[in-house]
Amino acid sequence: MLILGIETSCDETAASIVEDEAKVLSNVVVSQIDIFAEYGGVIPEVAARNHLEVMMPVVKKALADANKTWDDIDAIAVTHTPGLLGSLLIGTLTARTLAIIHQKPLYAVHHLKSHIYANWLNTKKTPEFPLLSLVVSGGHTQILKMSAHNDFEIIGTTRDDAVGECFDKVAKILGLPYPGGPAITSAGKNGDSNKYKFPKPNVENLDFSFSGLKTAVLRTVQKELNLPISHPSHDLKNHLSSQQVADFAASFEKTAVDYLLSKLEKAYAENPETKSFVVAGGVSANELLRSETEKRLPNVFFPERKFSGDNGAMVAAAAYFEIKSGVEPTDPYALNIMPRSSIA
């Protein structure tokens, strides 16, 4: 079975052809990162316009790279939510139009499900059930339990910011570019990760809070510079030395990773039958998160680095397992393609 996966939830326009259990035949990703690095974040209106420009060439290239034609494609899968509304509309409208024209079944796939299924792409050894998944992206921070394919239960979630968003906001305070994750890692290379201590947010059960951590970094920077808390955050970078930036980046990264893993360990203690751990989403590219998870938990899976950020292959993989689980395709003419917001 060949599935075309389309993804436009944020600032990547992506399409991919995936065969059966997640063999990636082509993977085309056009990123708008260079555009938004200048602004320090994504501007939704600009992102949607850029998706519109490159969407069809990206789909065409995905078919050409895989050496396939429309006749070979068995189904079309698209991210329908969550994400930026204007961006999602470009992908879903493209997918439903293509499904009508080429008469293919259409699968509207939840974005977080796709991130989790990135762990099945191009791998021989696949995660065993029941598993716990830590989904860490720019928009989400969740722990999910999966007892079988396409069977999800959210057991922990952030009450405010997502961890990726926190990386991006802390990077901005430190004068580092967007996206903040890779920028924080490289700035922190020569930093002392024990230099600054940030209190871990005190949220019960398996939920997270990241806005408190961002504020803790902000207040510590202001204190370190002997500036009042009223001092504008966008100006702090002009007062920080490169060593201070490195120390703040390293200390923040260590705290964020430790906080994520303390919750995942707690989830394991409450679910001792867990057979594997699956880390997913843009932040799963983080080196420290990768090495620390492997140290602290057994049987850990991460997506191949090129599949940790947004891509079409993971959307196709998620649709494949929906099809295997008996999920019916979405009617491309239906009104409700957007509001199907639950991961289950």
- Please give the residue ranges that form the binding site for Zn ion (CB under 5 A): 137, 310
Confirm or reject binding of residue 312 to ligand KG4 (CB under 6 A): no
Told to check if 247 binds ligand KG4 by CB under 6 A, we report: no
Q: How far is CA 162 from CA 139, 167, 208, 209, 214, in A?
A: 5, 9, 9, 8, 11
CB 230 → Zn ion: shortest distance, Å? 35
Query: What's the rounded Cα separation, in Å, for the pair 308 and 282?
Result: 5
Interface map 112-151 toward ligand KG4 (x if CB under 6 A): -------------------------xxx------------
What is the four-CA torsion angle of 213, 214, 220, 226, rounded to 10 degrees?
-160
DSSP track, 310-330: S-HHHHHHHHHHHHHTTPPPB
Tell me which of ligand KG4, Zn ion, none is bound by residue 201, counting a contact when its beta carbon lies within the kind-specific cut-off of 5 to 8 angstroms: none
Beta carbon nearer to Zn ion, 168 or 310: 310
| Residue 91 contacts ligand KG4 per CB under 6 A | no
* Residue from 5, 180, 312, 332 in contact with ligand KG4 (CB under 6 A): 180
Min dist CB 9 to ligand KG4, Å, is 6
Considering only 188, 201, 212, 282, the residue that binds ligand KG4 (CB under 6 A) is: 282
Query: For 253, left (φ over 0), alpha (ψ -120 to 50), or beta?
Result: alpha
Residues 185-244 that bind ligand KG4 (CB under 6 A): 185
By the rule CB under 6 A, 286 interacts with ligand KG4: yes
Burial of 203 (0-12, 13-18, 19+ CB in 10 A): middle
Which residues have a Cβ under 8 Å from the Cβ of 95 and sit 6 or more positions away? Answer: 6, 76, 77, 78, 106, 108, 332
| Residue numbers at the binding site for ligand KG4 (CB under 6 A) | 10, 137-139, 164-165, 167-168, 179-182, 185, 281-283, 285-286, 309-310
